[in-house]
Amino acid sequence: MNKAIKNFVWLMLPPCKEVTELISLNRDRGISFAERLKVRAHILFCKFCARYLRQMQSLEEELHHKHLPEDAPPDVIKRIKKIVRDNS
């Protein structure tokens, strides 16, 4: 892309701080089509925001899938079992 055009497009786009806010808003209540386009365009120019978006997506995915451990302290399980037995 021509450098002048590139600069012009960049100036029309929201700054990084606003992009991070739009990414949060998008997750919570959705953002408009125009806002989405601005975020996408910004990310083409900005490696920091591209990483930010990727990281937030993988963080959400991890939190959502909750690969929780399948073991717990034995004494906790023992105490819970006792209560269940006493109340069965």
Partner 1 sequence: MAPELTTPELWVDEHGAYLYNYALAQVHDSQSAEDLVQETFLAALQSRQAFEGRSPIRTWLTGILKHKIIDHLRKKYRELPESTVTLPYEKEGLFRTEGDMRDHWRAEVGPQDWVINPADELERKEFWKILEGCTDRLPPRLRIVFTLREISELETEEICKDLEVTATNLWVMLHRARMQVRRCLELHLNA
- Strand, coil or helix: 88: coil
Pick the binder of partner 1 from 6, 12, 21, 32 (CB under 8 A).
21
Residue 41 engages Zn ion in binding (rule: CB under 5 A): no
Residue 49 engages Zn ion in binding (rule: CB under 5 A): yes
Instruction: Please list every residue from 46 through 85 that binds partner 1, using CB under 8 A.
Output: 46, 48-49, 51-52, 55-56, 58-64, 66-72, 76-77, 79-81, 83-85
Which does residue 51 touch among partner 1, Zn ion, none (CB within 5 to 8 A, set by kind)?
partner 1
Per-position DSSP letters for 18-84, written without gaps between them: HHHHHHHHHHHT---HHHHHHHHHHHHH-HHHHHHHHHHHHHHHHHHH----S---HHHHHHHHHHH
